[in-house]
Amino acid sequence: MNVLDIENKAKENRGKSRVYVLQSASQPEILKVGVTTDNYRIPSFSRMGYAQISDWELVSLTWLSTKPEGEALEKMCEAKLTQMNYKVDEIKWTNTTNGKTEQGAREIYKADVAVVLRVIKNASASLSTWMN
């Protein structure tokens, strides 16, 4: 998904949240799962060198109706991926845009992207059932 696709989706879905999956191009087993209400934040991870990685690529966006739903889905995925032993310990990193040492990168996983996407799909279905 390119930046234009992200911008177009942002206009269509103002006020909604999304759970995203980023994947390192050079280390495809390294993934970041997060939630945002602002698509413009997503490309910043590569520019900042988040978790000492500067080649993050967006592989998935899951759209949700509200911010609390997005946060709930992210937490469900984090719990499951941690239970599956895919969570990476917090990583201290240097922000390449300002040179500051950051506290730590969280929500980083070492897993096959298909596994992570399946966890998100299953958690999303569970959340949808629970919300309805």
Q: Rounded to two decimals, what is the model's pTM?
A: 0.86
Break the chain into its structural domains and give their ranges: 3-131
Q: What is the pLDDT of residue 5?
A: 55
**Residue 49 CB partners (closer than 8 Å, separation 6+):** 93, 94, 95, 96
Query: By the 8 A CB rule, do 21 and 59 touch?
Result: yes
Q: Could you tell me which residue, 83 or 129, shows the higher pLDDT?
A: 83
What separation in angstroms does the CA of 83 have from each of 80, 109, 123? 5, 12, 14
Residue whose entry in the numeric block shows the structure tokens 């910043």: 44
Mean pLDDT of 40-51: 92
* Cα–Cα distance measured from residue 6 to residue 131, given in angstroms and rounded to the nearest whole number: 26
Which pLDDT band holds residue 23 (cuts at 50, 70, 90)? very high
pLDDT, average across residues 108-130: 94
> Cα(31)–Cα(57) distance, rounded to whole angstroms?
9
Tell me the residue length of the chain. 132
d(CA 50, CA 114): 22
